[in-house]
Every structure is written in structure tokens, then in C-alpha cells.
Amino acid sequence: MTNKLLNALISRESTPAKVGPRIEAVREALGMTKADFADSLEYDRSSLTKVEKGTMGLDIAVGERIAAIYGVGLDFIYRGDLSDLPSDLRPNVVRELARLRKTL
């Protein structure tokens, strides 16, 4: 993918509306259901749904758990920095972000 396309997909904003799709893209790229992902993080399932919809912010402690368990860096979660994703997960996350962008 070209840098221009990647920049269009990734916003550097850390608002809930921008962080939510990043979390959803990571979850989808991992092939996990919302229930499984929330349970793996010891996080409330309804809160995860709100985060993914962008109606609730992601608590930093949950972001840190995502980083620790799945290797997804906080710079990706909160700023959209693709270099802070594991290289094996990056293509799938980018694909999911593109898919989500089409549905928004």
C-alpha cells in the first residue's frame, strides 16, 4: 500500500471516534469475537462495544493490557502509528481499517 493511502486510512487523532476503529481492526485482524477479546483483557464486553463504536474512550490501563498481551503498541492505539504494530499483524489491521472506513 502506498504511503498516501495509508495516511488516508490512519488519522493521528486520539479521540474515541478514531481509537475505536483501531481497536476493532486489531480485534478483527486477530480473528477474535468481541466477547473473546474483552474476556482476554478482563474488560467489560459492553464497554468494549462502546469503545469500538467511538462513544467511549479507551482507558489507558486497557490499552496497556492490549499492548502487553497482543504486542500492539500504544502509539498505534492512541495515535495510529502503524510502525507500532507487530509486522505480522500490520497487513490485516490495515485491511480491516480500510473495510471499516467503507462502512462508516
Domains in the chain with CATH codes: 3-103 (1.10.260.40)
Cell numbers 490499552: residue: 63
Half-sphere exposure of 101 (CA within 13 A, CB side): 15
Confidence of residue 101 (pLDDT cuts 50, 70, 90): confident
pLDDT given at position 102: 82
- Span 62-93, pLDDT tens digits: 999 999 999 999 999 999 999 999 999 999 99
Q: What percent of the chain has pLDDT over 70?
A: 88
> Residue 42 contacts by C-beta under 8 Å, 6 or more apart in sequence?
65
At residue 98, does pLDDT exceed 70?
Answer: yes
SS3 (DSSP) at 96: helix
pLDDT at 41 over 70: yes
